[in-house]
A and B are shown apart, each in its own frame.
Chain A
Amino acid sequence: MVKGTIEVEHLTKTFKKGNVQAVKDVSFNVKEGEFFAFLGPNGAGKSTTVQILTTLINASSGKVEVAEQDVIQHPHEVRKHIGVALQETGIDPSLTGREMLKLQCGIFGFNKEEASKRTNELLEVVQLTESADRICGNYSGGMRRRLDLALTLVNKPKILFLDEPTTGLDPSNRKSIWEYLERLNKEEGTTIFLTTQYLEEADFLADRIAIIDGGKIVAEGTPPELKSQIGNDLITMDFTSEKETKQAMEILNEELEATDLVNKGQQLVMYVQDGTKRLMEVVRVLDQHSIPIQSINVDSPTLDDIFLKITGEGIGEQKGEVKHG
């Protein structure tokens, strides 16, 4: 029995077209049964990595083993043990959902009865039984995603690769996919490699997260590890103008020797070890300089904050000004 593991060493990928270095010296391991999330913004290199790991494209250099097989030397073996849902769904719109699933079963060597049985099971799982005999060209986006997911499960894969499986789904569809993936991971022990732009998604689902930005892994660890990397608390202050934010940043930097500060326009975020104690000092110092604070909060950091701190950018935000100590 092969193990559902992934080993990646010094992986790089340069696309000749446009001479883009999409992945730069990436190394990581995923253990059998682990739920691993690759988290990063647009263009970070997530899809490129997935395509290399799943035998679709070749790496420029580096070594990749999936299900204990080298993806370059034994792609055929690797394909037997993986299920892949790429960022774009892969569906023939002129077939019905049932026909798509049966075809996929056939390709994996199922006979007629096995194929019918597995098809019915999977239709049930992704709640498409009622629409199974409709042409999938007429499915909604959410239904297509669900069918695509069902297609990846046909061969009971050891490792499931999901490239942004919930992007564009409404909250209830997203929730049901999350629940299903959790069950698959816990009950069947399927190794899952998932990419996402949503921090809450990685936080909620993953045992371990790698944050990728500009083709490099910039941080890696369990969600609590990542959170503790940046201090226990953060203080968020709102001001009425960008000028005041700037002044406050300078004052806090000089007087409190606060170094981990992120300027987000009219908002300033300060990473600290003891939030409640520092809060008093912040209020006092800013008051001395007569800078009015609109609001001020102490929170424990979310992955969003981690991302902001590490990459200097919030998801979908302008580049922030970062000061590191």
Chain B
Amino acid sequence: MGNGLIKDIWLLSKRSVQTTLRSPFSFIPNLLISMFFLVVYESGLSGISQLPAFDGADYLAFILPVSVVSAAIGGAGGAGQGIVKDIENGFFSRLLLTPASRLSIVLGPIIAGMLQLFVQTLLIIMVAFFMGLNVETGFFGIIIVLLIAIGWGLAFAGYSAGVALKTKNAQAAQAGTLIFFPLIFLSTTFVPYELIEATWLKVAATINPTTYIFQSMRTVLIDGWQWWEIAQGFIAIAIACTITITFATVSAKKAVSRG
């Protein structure tokens, strides 16, 4: 009776994907917001890319990372939402009462969240191509953008799952996603670093890991293979993932242990 770990993970991820697909309002708003960044800012602000600080870059390629990060964070947030829903409707306890591996019970919603992120990011990039996106580093550049999106999404999935498991409460988990705003907007979101005027925003942008994520993506999209610029994004991801996944693991252990 009971299964190996892989079968448990497969069953529970499949079920989380099903659950997500059946409540489209859990992902459609986020997808629309991400598209909004791309379409509205591209058509409304693209004029500013005439400024010298842009070095002649196409504003579409400049704003695309914002849209991608927004989609990634939203998708990854689905992991936490899935876990909170399970806890609130008692399904989490029902699973804990079966011989299912404890890891699979937590991993199911996280894997589904990551898949959601992947699909959303792909959609955004496709739309950007329809709008005439030109990628300096070509196909492999797109792979890099996807990898960064997934890595950054994983960091955020760890965070959202950790908050969900710790608070076990939908409102708290929802409030936790508000970190989205400073992360996205206190950065080089709409203009390059050199064009930021306020000192506090400069400081915020320097501390904000999202700045390095934007930088990595923009480098491959606009400038070409400049390794150090690209690597900084991956370093930010590694640090963030270490912190949030540790947090998620500790919270998960507490939630499935029987204190």
The residues of A with any CB-CB pair to B shorter than 8 Å are 54-58, 75-76, 79-80, 82, 84, 86, 88-95, 99, 103-104, 106-109, 135, 151, 155
A90 to B88 Cα, complex, angstroms: 9
The residues of B that contact A91 with a CB separation of less than 8 Å are 89-91, 94
Find out whether the CB atom of A86 lies under 8 angstroms from the CB atom of B90: yes
In the bound complex, do residue B258 and residue A94 qualify as a contact, i.e. CB atoms below 8 Å apart?
no
Cβ distance B90 to chain A, nearest Cβ, rounded Å = 4
10 extra interface residue pairs, beta carbon distance < 8 Å, beyond A92-B91, A106-B11: A55-B96, A56-B258, A75-B258, A76-B99, A88-B93, A90-B90, A91-B90, A107-B2, A108-B1, A155-B1
Contacts A107-B98, A109-B3 given; indicate if A90 touches B93 (C-beta within 8 A).
yes
Residues of B within 8 A of A93 (CB): 89
8 interchain residue pairs of minimum CB distance: A90-B94, A90-B90, A58-B258, A94-B22, A88-B90, A94-B19, A92-B91, A79-B99
Flag whether B226 is at the interface (Cβ < 8 A): no
Contact of B258 with A95 in the complex, beta carbons under 8 Å: no
Residue pair B2, A80 in contact (C-beta under 8 Å)? yes
A56 to B87, CA, bound (A): 13
In the complex, A300→B91 CA distance in Å? 44
> Looking across the interface, which residue of chain B has its beta carbon closest to that of A83?
B97
Residues of A within 8 A of B7 (CB): 106
Supposing A95-B19, A103-B11, A107-B8 touch, asked if A84 and B97 sit within 8 A by C-beta, the answer is: yes
Using known A-B contacts A90-B89, A94-B19, A103-B11, determine if residue A56 contacts B1 with beta carbons closer than 8 Å.
Answer: no
A107→B22 contact, CB < 8 A: no
C-alpha spacing A57/B22, complex, angstroms: 32
Known: A56-B97, A86-B93. A92 touches B1 (CB 8 A): no
Query: Nearest Cβ in chain B — how far from A40, in angstroms?
Result: 21
- Cβ contact within 8 Å between A108 and B2: yes
With both beta carbons as reference points, the residue of chain A lying nearest to B23 in the complex is identified as A94
**Do B259 and A95 have beta carbons less than 8 Å apart?**
no
Q: In chain B, residues 72-105, which have Cβ atoms closer than 8 Å to a Cβ of chain A? A: 86, 89-100
**How far is it, in angstroms, between the C-alpha of A103 and the C-alpha of B96 when the chains are bound?**
14
Name B19's closest neighbour in chain A (CB-CB): A94
Q: Is the CB of A80 within 8 A of B1?
A: yes
At the interface, yes or no: B15 with Cβ under 8 Å from chain A?
yes
Contact of A58 among B22, B89, B259 (CB under 8 A): B259
Q: Interface on B for A, CB 8 Å cutoff?
A: 1-3, 7-8, 11, 15, 18-19, 22-23, 86, 89-100, 257-259
CA distance in complex: A92, B90 (Å)? 8
Once the chains are docked, how many angstroms separate the CA of A87 from the CA of B191? Answer: 55
Interface residues of A: mostly helix, strand, loop or mixed? loop
Question: Using Cβ atoms and an 8 Å threshold, which residues of chain B touch A57?
Answer: 258-259
Pair A107/B97 contact, Cβ less than 8 Å: no
Residues of A within 8 A of B99 (CB): 76, 79-80, 107-108
Determine whether the beta carbon of A79 is less than 8 Å from that of B91: no
A92 lies within 8 A of B98 (CB): no
Given contacts A79-B98, A92-B86, A107-B3, contact A56 B11 (CB under 8 A): no
**CB contact under 8 A between A79 and B89, given known A94-B22, A94-B23, A95-B19:** no
CB distance from B220 to the nearest CB of A (A): 38
A89 x B1 contact (CB < 8 A) = no
Q: In chain A, what residue has the closest Cβ to B256?
A: A56
Complex CA–CA separation, A191 to B230 (angstroms)? 63
Query: Which of A106, A151, A155 is close to B94, meaning CB atoms less than 8 Å apart?
Result: A151
Listed residue (B86, B90, B99) with the most chain A CB atoms within 10 angstroms of its CB: B99
Complex CA distance for A84 and B93, rounded to whole angstroms: 10
CB distance from B204 to the nearest CB of A (A): 38
Judge whether A56 and B96 touch: CB under 8 Å: yes
CB distance from A273 to the nearest CB of B (A): 47
- Knowing A79-B98, A107-B3, A108-B98 are in contact, say whether A92-B19 is a contact too (CB < 8 A): yes
Cross-chain contact A99 with B91 (CB below 8 angstroms):
no
Asked if B86 contacts A55 (CB within 8 A), the reply is no
- Docked pose: A108 CA to B100 CA in angstroms: 8
A91 CA to B7 CA, complexed, in Å: 21
Distance (whole angstroms) from the CB of B198 to the closest CB of chain A: 45
Contact assessment for B15 and A92 in the assembled complex, using a CB-CB cutoff below 8 Å: yes
A55–B97 touching, CB < 8 Å: yes
Residue of B nearest to A72 (CB): B258
CB distance from B88 to the nearest CB of A (A): 10
Cβ A90 vs Cβ B11 within 8 A: no
Would you give 29 A-B contacts (Cβ < 8 Å), ordered by A? A56-B258, A57-B259, A58-B257, A58-B258, A58-B259, A75-B258, A76-B2, A76-B99, A84-B97, A88-B90, A90-B90, A90-B91, A90-B92, A90-B94, A90-B97, A91-B89, A91-B90, A92-B86, A92-B89, A92-B91, A94-B23, A95-B19, A99-B15, A103-B11, A103-B15, A106-B7, A108-B1, A135-B22, A151-B94
> In the complex, which residues of chain B have a beta carbon less than 8 angstroms from the beta carbon of A76?
2, 99
Question: How long is the Cα–Cα vector from A185 to B3 in the complex, in angstroms?
Answer: 28
Contact residue among A55, A82, A135 (Cβ-Cβ distance under 8 Å from B258): A55
With A and B bound together, what is the CA distance between A95 and B17 in angstroms?
Answer: 11
| Complex contacts, B94 vs chain A, CB 8 Å | 86, 90-91, 151
